[in-house]
Amino acid sequence: MKIEFRLNGKDVSCDVPENYTLLRMIREVFGLTGTKKGCDQGECGACTVLMDKKAVTSCTVLAPVVNGKDIITIEGIEKDGKMHIIQEKMVEAGAVQCGFCTPGMVMSAYALFIQDKHFTREDIKKAIAGNLCRCTGYEFIIDGIEKALESRGK
């Protein structure tokens, strides 16, 4: 099946079987391995990407659904080879240990970041609720995201 969509700001197309997931398409067809395969059931959040500005678990989205959509992966948020402020603030906060959950956490936070409104610590907790981390205990992650959100517009 031919799929046409926008990936990290570029119009792309590919032919994939109808049973391919967005995760598989991103990793195998486009070679973007920053999006991690974790549980493959939508429970861990490691594969989180943005689809039309909303965080989704890419392992649960079938390729045909992506047709005509705008997809942003972790690779799509860097600018000129520099990490996004969310990534920088998470590193500063000590929120990245093994790193496996980090891309999904960053993308869930990015879904908040691109909205033009204020978010509380509780909002951040809700936004990352679908992302599992075994290393940090979440407080450092929340701290990093909070600092990144505070820095918008500065």
Beta strands in 18-122 (DSSP E): 48-51, 54-57, 70-72
Give the sign of the dihedral formed by CA 24, CA 138, CA 90, CA 55.
positive
Q: For residue range 44-101, what is the model confidence (pLDDT) as tens digits?
A: 999 999 999 999 999 999 999 999 999 999 999 999 999 999 999 999 999 988 889 9
Distance, in Å, from the CA atom of 58 to the CA atom of 104, rounded to the nearest integer, reads 10
Tokens 């993308």 label which residue? 107
Q: Does the 2-76 domain belong in CATH 3.10.20.30?
A: yes
Q: What share of the chain is helix, strand, coil (3-state, %, to 5)?
A: 35, 20, 45
Cα 49 to its chain centre, rounded Å, is 4
**Superfamily designation of domain 85-150:** [2Fe-2S]-binding domain (1.10.150.120)
Give the per-residue pLDDT at 46.
96
Determine the 3-state secondary structure of 81 from DSSP.
coil
* Residue pair 63/108 in contact by the 8 Å Cβ criterion: no
If pLDDT is split at 50, 70 and 90, which confidence band does 153 have?
low
Q: For residue range 110-128, what is the model confidence (pLDDT) as tens digits?
A: 999 999 899 999 999 999 9
Mean pLDDT for 3-31 is 98
The ranges of the chain annotated as CATH 1.10.150.120 are 85-150
The answer to pTM > 0.75 is yes
The ranges of the chain annotated as CATH 3.10.20.30 are 2-76
